[in-house]
Structure formats: C-alpha cells, structure tokens
C-alpha cells in the first residue's frame, strides 16, 4: 500500500551539468530512504523531459516520475519538475504552475526550495549541485532559516562550481561532499526518527506566499496588466538585491559591531515592508 504520510523532504537543485550530476546522486539513493525527493534542473522549455527522466531512472532503484499538478506526495519517489513549469509543495501535495520566471528560470530551484521550507521547515534537506551564477542560494537560505539541513556538492568536483560556491558564501552548510557521498549522508539522516514539522519563521512563510502567488499568475494575466507587472517585478528584484546585501552582512564574520547589526536589522525591516506591499498589490488585483 502506498505511503502518503511523508515526513522527510529532500529538494535538489542543479543547472549547467545538472542532468549527469542528478543521475549520479540518484544512483546512491536507497529504497529504504524515508523521504520524498524533488528535483529541479534548470532546463529550457523545449527540453525532452521524458528522456531526462529515463536517464535518471536507469541509475536509481527509486521510482522517478515527472511531477503533475495535484500529485499526492509519496516517499521513495523522485519527482522531476517538468519544463516551463514551477514545482511547489503543499502539505502532502504537489503544485505545478506556469507563472512568472524566478531568477530568469521556470522551473526555478528557488521556488521549490522556498515552498518546501515554508511547508515542511526543519524536515527539509536542501541540496545544491553544479550550476552557474547564484541560482538556488535564496531557496537554500530559506531552508537554513527554517532549521533544515543544507548540503552542497563539493565545488571542486562540480562541473560548474558557481552555484555550490555561492551557497557556501551565503550560509553555513551542514555538509560539503562529492556526489558519491551524498547518498550515504541522506541514508544516515533519514534512518533516524521521522522529523516532526515545527514552527516556520514568519519571513519564510511570507516569502513562500509571495513566490506562490507570482508563480501561479499566468503570463496571459500579466499581459493584461503590464504596468502592475512591471511594478511587481521591480519590487521583487529590489527585494532580492536587499536580501543579498543582508546575507553578505550577516556572513561577514571578520567584524561584529553595532553599526553592522543595525544595518542588518534595518534591511530586515524594510524587506518585510516590501514583501507585504507586494502581497497587497496582488490582493488588490483580484
């Protein structure tokens, strides 16, 4: 009988070089893994996702499927985001939506990670693999702030090291490991007592709510309200830039003074105001 009572969630994000990396990581996942696995690989909208799924399936004993909207979450299954759609999580259920691009991508690693953190908080294990630029850093930060476990592929092993390196700069990760070791780490983490979801930080919930709303708005709706769309996008970019600044300040461990702490506090206050304003803009359109 299928077990839908999933406690542990594993989210995996990869970009350039990601198909090969995810396939290798999947080969180390065991059937007794007490978790559901969700994978976003940044691929173009014309990618043949069934071929990608088959490549991953050949390397793993877990079932690998392309996620569909409304799917119930089952453990020991790898869910692969389809091209040109965001994959998000609700309690026990998957949402697949075509909405606004996030960091120029759809599907987006950050969208998946934020929704997972807001829904399953400390029961989430986030994994960032090979890729360019800083995609996944924002989502991994949400996992970290929610008490989840953060793992990166060793940048020295990654075909494209930018993504794991940028996560490493932004937060303190729990594990930095080559691909072949990550399966062992996950087996150890999820062989223990099932995780119990606690209290999600308000900021993570707010972030996920914004992400969910922006991701569920179709491009057709946006075309009808171009001015509103441009304002929302500008606010979203401003939020991202301010968060990067705050994260940089928080991780500058070389000094710790009252001025730095005050700037972190003020940035956090203004970020929350902007996020609530973005939500209010969306509510006023409905």
Query: Which residues are part of the catalytic machinery?
Result: 15, 42, 135
Distance separating alpha carbons of residues 170 and 50, to the nearest angstrom:
34
Instruction: Give kind and range of the element (H or E) at residue 153.
Output: strand 149-153
Instruction: Compute the distance between CA of residue 204 and CA of residue 260 in angstroms, rounded to an integer.
Output: 23
Report the side by side order of strands in the sheet with 149-153: 63-66, 77-80, 36-41, 9-14, 124-128, 149-153, 175-177
Report the chain's C-alpha Rg in angstroms.
18
Rounded to whole angstroms, the Cα distance separating 201 from 179 reads 30
Tokens of 269: 């206050």
Enumerate the H helices of the chain as residue ranges.
18-27, 49-57, 109-120, 137-145, 162-170, 179-189, 202-216, 219-224, 226-250, 258-285
- The Cα–Cα gap between 279 and 103 comes to 19
């Amino acid at each position: 009988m299928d077990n839908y009572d999933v406690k542990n969630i594993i989210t995996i994000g990869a970009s350039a070089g990601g198909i090969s990396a995810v396939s290798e990581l999947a080969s180390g996942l065991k059937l007794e893994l007490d978790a559901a696995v969700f994978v976003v690989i940044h691929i173009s909208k014309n990618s043949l996702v069934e071929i990608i799924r088959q490549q991953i399936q050949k390397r793993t004993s877990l079932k690998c499927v392309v996620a569909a909207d409304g799917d119930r979450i089952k453990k020991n299954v790898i869910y692969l985001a389809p091209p040109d759609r965001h994959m998000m999580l609700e309690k026990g259920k998957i949402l697949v939506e075509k909405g606004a691009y996030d960091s120029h991508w759809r599907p987006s690693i950050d969208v998946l990670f934020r929704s997972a953190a807001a829904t399953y908080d400390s029961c989430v294990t986030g994994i960032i693999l090979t890729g360019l630029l800083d995609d996944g850093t924002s989502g991994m930060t949400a996992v970290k702030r929610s008490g989840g476990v953060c793992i990166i592929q060793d940048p020295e092993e990654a075909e494209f090291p930018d993504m794991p390196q940028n996560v490493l700069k932004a937060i303190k990760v729990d594990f930095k490991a080559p691909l072949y070791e990550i399966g062992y780490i996950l087996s150890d983490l999820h062989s223990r007592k099932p995780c119990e979801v606690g209290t999600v930080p308000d900021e993570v919930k707010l972030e996920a709510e914004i992400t969910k709303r922006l991701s569920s708005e179709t491009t057709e709706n946006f075309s009808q309200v171009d001015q509103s769309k441009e304002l929302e996008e500008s606010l979203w970019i401003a939020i991202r830039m301010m968060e990067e600044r705050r994260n940089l300040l928080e991780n500058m461990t070389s000094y710790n003074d009252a001025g730095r702490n005050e700037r972190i506090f003020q940035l956090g206050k203004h970020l929350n105001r902007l996020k609530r304003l973005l939500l209010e803009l969306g509510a006023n359109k409905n």
